[in-house]
Amino acid sequence: MDGCWYERCGRMQMAKQDKEFVKEITPQSEDFSRWYIDVIQKADLMDYAPVRGCIVFKPDGYELWEACQRELDVRFKRTGHRNAYFPLFIPESFFEKEKEHVEGFNPELPWVTEAGGEKLEERLAIRPTSETVIGHMYARWIHSYRDLPVLINQWANVVRWEKRTLPFLRTSEFLWQEGHTAHATAEEAERETRQMLDVYTDFVENVLAVPVFRGQKTPSEKFAGAVATYSLEAMMKDGKALQAATSHYLGQNFAKGFEIKYLDKDNQLKYVYTTSWGISTRILGAIIMVHGDDKGLVLPPKIAPTQVIIVPIGPQKERARVVEHAGTLRDQLLSAGWRVRMDDREDFSPGWKFNEYEMRGVPIRLELGPRDIASGQVTLARRDTGEKLAVPESELAARLPQLMDDIQATMYQKAKQFADDHSHIAHSLGEITEIIQSQRGFVLAGWCGDDGCERRIKEEAGATSRNIPFQPPQTLPTCAVCGRPAAHSVWYAKAY
């Protein structure tokens, strides 16, 4: 080994470091978890807060959530729901009214025991979810079948003192929406539960461009206090599952616990049937992990805080002219309703800006330089494919909607392809374990319905049941663990 080798090696090392500095993001293939942490911080979505497990949603992160709220809210209203707001504090006694519910949430409740310098007579929990307070209120509001159904949604923050936290995916405090409805009949409540799952499906697939696996949770995975829980599961790029939304049919469990009764047409006092359904800021994690790549975020146009970033390019002499022209374009796009920003800072090179906004996931970059102006065109670059195209300025307004739609559709298809490619079918525990451990992804397997078999899959393969699909791609005749006849086909995966 001579000195040359070391020297060359050192130089190569340096070059590599430079390159990595430029990228600033750990490649997904190297370490997906680090990629995730790098991306959310570099793209300025969040920052760690001074309280353990809590994060700050910075404007770009919060605007993503606002976009989700906007899209969901119209869908809730369209299906007849109205928003209301219930208190953050829940009296301790409320939790004892539904047995499964207490057991499910007790370990993660934070308590207020003192206020105004005095010890409280009854401890107050900071809500982990609002079934109990809402149940209490519904009992006061509902007396007759004429009062039903009650269709209310709440946008709120909730707290669950999680052991292990991860930004967006699992934080001590998170933001969400929780719908709570009460109905006269089981059928109507069940229909509501399924309807909201459909609403979520529409939102997640068409707005977030994230394909979902729809189905019912197994008893061990269902919500504490529910009769049935339905979920949408999404597959992240590391093959792990993330529960994108849930909808619960609560039967009369909470109605009985909180005495929510109504006098029916037949003059009989009856318990109502309730539902609850929610989607949380965890969904931001899905957007990031389903679409992101080694350059950073890739955001679906429908929710991107900035849909078009305009980068004017030009030497000093031409700069004023180019910036003015770009400003006019920006104003046109703004009045056409696009979320557009222009970055005309002079102390950053165009190349720097290209990388920056790619990292931030902006769907379309509009470059405008003297050459573009001379030929009456703009240069557009797609974040999803990296493709650059020259578009005559006169056609920009017309082309943009198509282009955005195409990006949205392409992103969905890419994600769908990935999910399909990483969905497998297994016939034995060994096969499940092999697939989960060698390639991750989702595995469909037959299940007899026994908790023990489900638990063995968790122990051996490290995968949990995600849900029982409504329409399994294949119906498996026998339980993958015990070989008895299968009652269901179940999706298994490692999960966030």
Partner RNA sequence: CGGAGCAUAGCGCAGCUUGGUAGCGCGCCUGCCUUGGGAGCAGGAGGUCGUGGGUUCAAAUCCCGCUGCUCCGACCA
Query: Quick check: 11 binds RNA (CB under 7 A)?
Result: no
Query: Quick check: 484 binds RNA (CB under 7 A)?
Result: no
Query: Quick check: 381 binds RNA (CB under 7 A)?
Result: yes
Q: Is the dihedral of CA 33, 39, 42, 45 positive or negative?
A: negative
According to DSSP, residue 495 is labeled B
Beta bridge partners of 341: 309
Say which residues have a Cβ less than 8 Å from residue 271's Cβ, sequence separation at least 6: 252, 255, 256, 260, 261
Q: Which is nearer to RNA, 184 or 457 (CB)?
A: 457
- In the block, residue with structure tokens 């929710």: 303
x-marked contacts with RNA along 428-467 as a string, rule CB under 7 A = ------------------------------xx--x-----
Q: Are 136 and 167 in contact (CB under 8 A)?
A: no
Query: Quick check: 34 binds RNA (CB under 7 A)?
Result: yes
Query: Quick check: 315 binds RNA (CB under 7 A)?
Result: yes
Stretch near RNA under the rule CB under 7 A, chosen from 93-101, 202-210, 250-258, 279-287: 279-287
The string of DSSP letters for 358-425 reads: HHTT-SEEEEE-HHHHHTTEEEEEETTT--EEEEEGGGHHHHHHHHHHHHHHHHHHHHHHHHHHTEEE
The alpha carbon of 135 is separated from its chain's Cα centroid by a whole number of angstroms, namely 27
Q: Cβ of residue 86: shortest distance to RNA, in angstroms?
A: 17
Q: Cβ of residue 84: shortest distance to RNA, in angstroms?
A: 20
Q: Cβ of residue 214: shortest distance to RNA, in angstroms?
A: 14
In three-state secondary structure terms, 161 is coil
CA nearest neighbour of 451 among 415, 414, 487? 487
Binding to RNA, residues 348-377 (CB under 7 A) = 348-356, 358-359, 367-373
- How many residues in the shown chain lie near RNA by CB under 7 A? 70
Q: Cβ of residue 182: shortest distance to RNA, in angstroms?
A: 20
Residue 100 and residue 254: Cα distance in Å, rounded? 10
Say which residues have a Cβ less than 8 Å from residue 411's Cβ, sequence separation at least 6: 209, 291, 298, 300, 384
Query: Quick check: 30 binds RNA (CB under 7 A)?
Result: no
Q: Cβ of residue 163: shortest distance to RNA, in angstroms?
A: 4
Query: Quick check: 170 binds RNA (CB under 7 A)?
Result: yes
The alpha carbon of 165 is separated from its chain's Cα centroid by a whole number of angstroms, namely 16
Q: Cβ of residue 17: shortest distance to RNA, in angstroms?
A: 8
Q: Which is nearer to RNA, 184 or 373 (CB)?
A: 373
Stretch near RNA under the rule CB under 7 A, chosen from 59-67, 165-173, 443-451, 465-473: 165-173
Binding site for RNA (CB under 7 A): 21-24, 33-34, 36-37, 48, 52-53, 104, 107-108, 160, 162-167, 169-172, 174, 176, 223, 243, 245-246, 278, 280-282, 295, 313-316, 319, 346-356, 358-359, 367-373, 379, 381, 386, 388, 458-459, 462, 495-496
